[in-house]
Amino acid sequence: MSLWNDIIKTATLGTNRAPLNKANAQDWEKEFVQENEGEANMLHIAAVRSVASRAGFVPQKYEGELPQVASEEDAPNYLHPEALYFLKNAEDDFLIKEFLHEINEINKTIPPDYLPNFLYKAVKNKLPQDWVFPVIGARGRWLVQQNEDWSKQFKEATEEDWEYGKINQRLIYFRELRKSEPDKARVLLEGTRSSESVGDLSKFLRTFEYHLSEKDNAILESLLSHKRKEIRSLAANYLMQIPESDLVQRMKERAEALLTYKKGKLLSKSKLTVKLPTLTKELEKDFVGDTLNIRGVGKKAGYLLQIIRCIPPQYWEGKFDVKATDLIKAAKRTDYDKVLLIAWIYATSNFKNAEWAHLLCQELIVDPKLADSIYSKVPKLFDLLDDEQRNGILQKAIKEEKGFAHNGPLLMFLRGSKNEINVNTTKKLFKKLKNALENQEKKRNYGLDSFVYELKNIYQIIPLSMLDEAIKTLSDIDTVNYLEKHIGEFLAAMEYRAKMLKAIKK
């Protein structure tokens, strides 16, 4: 027991019941131990020990080998101190990624004196190695090896980690293998899947988003009979994205009797006939039957939707010898237009068909309620478009959407835009927003509220060349306090980004 523990014990029980044990005092402390064993002695020693613990300590003697010194940097080109301010204060993943990308593009590295702080930040924010290593130089890579937390985070995973490591190490190795050698990764999982826990197996399966292909059909098909629903659901979700999968072929066969198309002399007279399916055990095995909770879609119509969503949308063009535009028009003349359009949105998102994505985005503008039914799929659909198509769709939505609809297609499209929109689109967006803010009614507009609140989350897609225009257009509008706050945050985020990029170039 240490002397400090003795002091606590004596202070608690009293010097008469637990006198201070001088034997536990270190050499430097013994000279302070007086002959009497009373309260004064105990308090004196406690005071000396307390001051000593704050003043410093004698370090342990290191018996191991010292590490090799860091390599000299080859013509180091360090960041300007002003740029470091932005790195220190950036918490937004977009800003951190952009910052690191920009300094890597101009071959700058983080100064040695800030490397420890940056590496702590990198671990805290779980930044990937390919963001970090290009900007820390030889000294930074050396420093990573001297700290256990850093080396774990940025350690290159090996097959030994897969065999003997903990789940996080195994997952890192498997994910990287899935990205680089999907065939080898598949073989590894086939060998261990029966012994993996449900939680671990689901984590490995989620990496199938990388290089998903027909080769994955066999293992995913076998998992449709797994005892846990979580695994069956993941397997089915991936099989729905493989055009050649057995599941997709089964759905095509089932759809034969459900959709028929008869051409008319005029395209407007062509008819798409829809028949609803009956739920069977075979359908349930293929994950048809779950409640979709889409307003206006009944149970049997939901079964139809779940079948059609598994089939590439272009399949129907070949089957019925009809263009996608005409097929969509024919679907809108049926009693199941909403069901078919939603099913095709799912299928287009799954099979990444840009032509259908463009057509269906236009349909979402025509019928905003359709977007509200499947809001999670709309950004993915929009992301399939090229820059020209994205800006065209946005401008059409800006023009045709009445005001700003809560969870309307315009807001969903902006959420799905990963690249900057062009200047013309930005001007039209600012003009629409300014008009809405200046003409607010006394009654609260929740659609406008949602849009203004979301502004600070989409600042990165607004061209920085439009910063002055944004300040001029939006900063002086007389509006309610909570909207003014969100507009201020949006403008502040744009200004911060502009200053950051300017500082990097110093």
149-158, 443-452, 465-474, range with greatest mean pLDDT: 465-474
504 has a pLDDT exceeding 80: yes
467 has a pLDDT exceeding 90: yes
100, 336, 437, 452, 480 from 441: Cα distances, Å: 45, 37, 9, 16, 11
Percent of the chain having pLDDT more than 70? 92
- Predicted local confidence at residue 1, as pLDDT: 47
The DSSP annotation for 271-308 comes to EEEE-PPPP-HHHHHTT-------TT--HHHHHHHHHH
User: Which residue did the predictor score with more confidence, 30 or 109?
Assistant: 109
118, 143, 363 from 67: Cα distances, Å: 21, 10, 64
- Predicted local confidence at residue 36, as pLDDT: 54
- Predicted local confidence at residue 47, as pLDDT: 77
| 331-343: average pLDDT | 94
| 228-245: average pLDDT | 94
Comparing 61-75, 242-256, 315-329, 491-505, the range with the smallest average pLDDT is 61-75
- Predicted local confidence at residue 30, as pLDDT: 63
* 109: helix, strand or coil: strand
Q: Is-contact 490 459, C-beta < 8 A? A: yes
**Model confidence pLDDT, tens digit, residues 181-231:** 999 999 999 999 999 999 999 999 999 999 999 999 999 999 999 999 999
Please report where in the chains the tokens 């950051």 appear, as a residue. 500
State the virtual CA torsion across 168, 172, 173, 176 in degrees, nearest 10: 170
- Predicted local confidence at residue 33, as pLDDT: 62
**Model confidence pLDDT, tens digit, residues 258-299:** 999 998 877 778 899 999 999 999 998 888 887 677 777 888
Please report where in the chains the tokens 């000593």 appear, as a residue. 52
Comparing 269-278, 369-378, 494-503, the range with the smallest average pLDDT is 369-378
User: What's this model's pTM, rounded to 2 decimal places?
Assistant: 0.80
Q: Both tokens of residue 161? A: 């980690």
In 14-158, alpha helices (H): 27-30, 39-55, 81-89, 93-105, 115-124, 129-132, 137-144, 148-154
- Predicted local confidence at residue 500, as pLDDT: 94
423 has a pLDDT exceeding 90: yes
Give the span between the Cα atoms of 54 and 70, in whole angstroms: 33
**Model confidence pLDDT, tens digit, residues 38-83:** 677 777 777 777 776 666 666 778 788 877 887 777 777 889 989 9
| 90-95: average pLDDT | 86
Q: pLDDT category, 32, cuts 50, 70, 90?
A: low
User: Which residue did the predictor score with more confidence, 456 or 42?
Assistant: 456
| 122-129: average pLDDT | 88
User: Which residue did the predictor score with more confidence, 399 or 48?
Assistant: 399
User: Which residue did the predictor score with more confidence, 152 or 316?
Assistant: 316
Task: Say which residues have a Cβ less than 8 Å from residue 409's Cβ, sequence separation at least 6.
Answer: 361, 364, 365, 368, 371, 378, 397, 401
Q: What region does 389 belong to: left with phi over 0, alpha with psi -120 to 50, or beta? A: alpha
Instruction: Give the mean pLDDT of the chain.
Output: 87
Q: pLDDT category, 93, cuts 50, 70, 90?
A: confident
| 118-124: average pLDDT | 91
User: Which residue did the predictor score with more confidence, 169 or 51?
Assistant: 169
Task: Say which residues have a Cβ less than 8 Å from residue 140's Cβ, sequence separation at least 6.
Answer: 109, 110, 115, 118, 119, 133
Nearest to 77 by CA among 114, 116, 110: 110
